[in-house]
Structure 1
Amino acid sequence: MKILHIVEAWHGGIASYVDALVRAQIQQGHQVVLAADSRMLAADPRGLPCVIEAYPASRNPAQLPMVRAALAAILARHEPDIVHAHSTFPGVYLRCPTALHPRIVYTPHGWSFLKMDSPAWVRWGYGWAERLLASRARAIMCMSFEELSRARALGIAPERLVMIHTGIKDIADEAPASPSDPDVARTQGLKIGFFGRLDYQKGADLLPALAGALSADATLHVFGTEVRGRQPLQPHPRIQHHGWVAHQALAAHIASMDVIIIPSRWEGFSLTALEALRAGAPIIVSDLTSLSEVVIHGYNGLIMRDYSAGHLADLLNKLSAEDCRRMGRNARQVFLETYTFDRFNQQVAGLYQAVLSR
């Protein structure tokens, strides 16, 4: 089978998600091509063992014909059996005004009409576009039950929708991780990890107030950088800001934490949650997102029922080291039973076969 993956951004969770799929599909004997924005590829090439095509992604509606022409040329060169579009704008490029390929699989990676930092009229427009374009994909692959239910509520035909929870490779299957920061190792007391962009979606605005409400022996370790044009993270004695870390070192940093907080306001499905479960680290998530599907409260993590820094601090201040160890063991078991990459990859392969047979 020849598979073409099309992405816009090539960083963070989407890059990790597609990277793993591409490598697995090549190992299975498929021919794989990746098309991504040329500027993104130059910043993070990753050494993928597949054919890589660059195209000029743009969110300017006036540039849509130019982007579609570039993608049409890539399609003509490679004649793929399946085209897998990742995230909102590749989904638009391929399907508006008409489908560029008869067998498109579309993964939104978080519905654009759920993004709470967009005005209501913009979210309405995204929803209208998704509903209009849905029939131009053979399958729409949702990453959570929340994504699936929101799509059905929007009016997207159920027969177009498939729900496949993401999976990641086990630590033993990955390249050896770099040692964690020595500053982390020297920290005494509860080590709390936050991994991700310092923006509104990820709940980074809660961090300064959270740090101020934590017990004296707790330290908040922040791994990530602020979004361009936003205010940097405010310094605080209980915050250690480590900045951006390479993907290869993430597993070691996550494993060095006692608990991981993911206070996102919305998510498609965060890989950080699965990386934490894999490392045997309990997670604390908001009930606003699909990540609450991953957590059994008190078993492998905790769920924030009130979205505030004070409530999150209260949950953390009540945690003992033994609580973290117990929930961490359970977190590891949940990962092994539900979120392995082999299970995920088999389900994606089954979806491709179903699309080919239609």
Structure 2
Amino acid sequence: MSATSAHRPRIAYLITNSEIGGAQAHVADLMQAMRQNADVTLLAGGDGHLFASAQAAGIPAIRLRMLDNALSPVRAVQALRELNTALREVAPDIIHAHSAKAGALGRVAGKVLGIPVIYTVHGFAFKPAAPWRQRLAARVTEWLLAPLTTRLICVADGERELARSLPIAGSRVSVIRNGLADVAERAHPGAPLRRIAMVARFAHPKRPDVLLEAFGQTGLAQCELVIAGEGPQLPAIRARAQAMTPAQVALPGSIHDVPGLLASSQIFVLVSDHEALPLSVLEAMRAGLPVIASDLPGIREQLDDGRCGILLEDKQPQTLARALQALAADAPRREALGRLARQRWEQQFGLARMIQATWAVYQDTLASAPRYRASARQRHAQN
């Protein structure tokens, strides 16, 4: 990957929250890689770990105080004004927006300021499994904003299928699957079963409650269940875990050493009502862990239609309990599924593939907006 001219493009990465999460990890990887050939800036709400990641990499960052997930129209207008001010200061060639609210405000700001906007959809909110009010609001919003989207990036083929219902040309829609850099830590799933892990935010659409109840039905007395993550449902799940017998359940909150946790586990689980292409599943595949997960389109893509993992036919605790018991009793199968998952990750979900494909979208976007690019150079010179 290399810049095509002496001018280094300016890219503003925009995301609603700076907390720890899959989309935030995705943005951190993009910023770190793209800074070799572009001047990148982070714009985000909150005061989370993403700002620390940017600072450690020497990447300028602007905290947008009014940007959050609140549904208040007044606050949205205030956030848009704040965003416009920040974008005038940064004068980017491209806005690359992530997450729903940042994606909405970013596209409006891009239209007002004449800046091309690339929007990465980490999961459309109008999936059939979402509550109907959410589906309706999300579909109307995305339908209205589609004409303001210079390029739309979907992280899975299933998301592109949903995008076909929007008024945006197919030539402006790309599928770039999430990717991860490799790490040294590896799991040993064929070892005696000592730990089952799930890494997820304790909030809809994740279902740690299903895993907790299923684990209680397995009778795996010598095994520990670890569910790592933060979120509004964590206190309620902790209360339920404390009442369990046996009580070998750990809920450590957010952890920074996810590779270490996965390397010490023999099975990974993700239960969810809906997903796009979850990074937690990719992290488990990278570690060489067998994965048990909800049968959703994006996860089906990751696990190659179940060839390198177990897809749950429903979200009933007894269904998951049976799958856990079957893997617990079959170390060779755990070993085989873990090996196949690792091979699938190597072939399809490495970081370099994602970075190269995203850079190509940037280059194509800039090449198709020559008038803006010329005016941007003038603004850069003035700044």
Give the TM-score, by structure 1 length: 0.88
Displacement after TM superposition at 1:15 (Å): 1.4
**1:149 matched to which residue of 2?**
161
**Counterpart amino acid of residue 35 in structure 1:** L
The alignment partner of 1:14 has SS state of: helix
Inter-partner Cα distance in structure 2 for 1:9 and 1:113: 21
CA distance in 2, matches of 1:213, 1:228: 21
Label 1:224 to 1:65 Cα distance change in 2 as closer, same or farther (>3 A). closer
Does residue 113 (structure 1) correspond to residue 117 (structure 2)? The answer is no
Look up the equivalent residue of 2:97 and give its one-letter code: A
What is the aligned-residue RMSD (CA, Å)? 2.4
Change (3 A) 1:128 1:341: same
Check conservation: 1:13, 1:271, Cα contact below 8 A: yes
* Alpha-carbon separation, structure 2, partners of 1:51 and 1:222: 34
Aligned to 1:75: 87
1:329 aligns with 2:334: no
Residue number in structure 1 paired with 2:11: 3
2:203 aligns with one of 178, 199, 204:
199
- Residues 298 and 94 of structure 1: is their aligned pair in 2 closer, same or farther, counting only changes over 3 Å? closer
- Equivalent residue in structure 2 for 1:161, among 173, 176, 179: 173
Partners of 2:32 and 2:57 within 8 A in 1? yes
- Count of aligned residue pairs for this structure pair: 343
Q: Within 2, Cα distance between the matches of 1:328 and 1:285?
A: 14
* 1:115–1:205 CA distance, 2 compared to 1 (3 A): farther
* CA-to-aligned-CA distance 1:264-293 (integer Å, 9 cap, x gap): 111132111111111111211111341111
Query: Which of 223, 233, 237 is matched with 1:232 structurally?
Result: 237
Identity of aligned residues (%): 26
Gaps of 5+ in 2: 1-8, 369-383
Paired amino acid for 1:40: D
Q: Does 1:357 align with 2:362?
A: no
8 Å contact kept, 1:198–1:225: yes
Please give the residue correspondences for 1:208-357 in structure 2 after superposition, counting only pairs within 5 Å.
Answer: 208-216=212-220, 217-227=222-232, 231-233=236-238, 234-235=240-241, 236=244, 237=246, 239-247=248-256, 249-296=257-304, 299-319=307-327, 320-357=330-367
Cα distance 1:349–1:313, how it changes in 2: closer, same or farther (>3 A)? Answer: same
* Paired residues of 2:80 and 2:109 also in contact (CA < 8 A): no
Checking the alignment, whether the CA contact within 8 Å between 2:198 and 2:269 is kept in structure 1 is yes
SS at match of 2:17: coil
What is the deviation of 1:309?
A: 1.0
Q: Once the two structures are superposed, what CA deviation does each residue of 1:152-175 show, in whole Å capped at 9, x if it has no partner? A: 134543233111101010114xxx
Extract unaligned runs of 5+ from structure 1: 181-186
Residue 184 of structure 1 is matched in structure 2 by: none
Q: How does 1:60-71 map to 2 (within 5 A)?
A: 60-71=72-83
Alignment partners' CA distance in 1, 2:263 and 2:234: 31
The whole-number CA distance in structure 2 between the counterparts of 1:43 and 1:167 is 18
> Offset of 1:50 from its aligned partner?
0.7
Task: Give the 3-state SS of the residue equivalent to 1:7 in structure 2.
Answer: strand
Task: Pick the aligned partner of 1:104 from 107, 117, 122.
Answer: 117
Q: Which amino acid aligns with 2:345?
A: F
Give secondary structure in 2 for the equivalent of 1:231: helix
- Tell me, in whole angstroms, the C-alpha distance in 1 between the residues paired with 2:105 and 2:204: 27
For residues 351 and 30 of structure 1, what CA distance do their matches in structure 2 show?
14
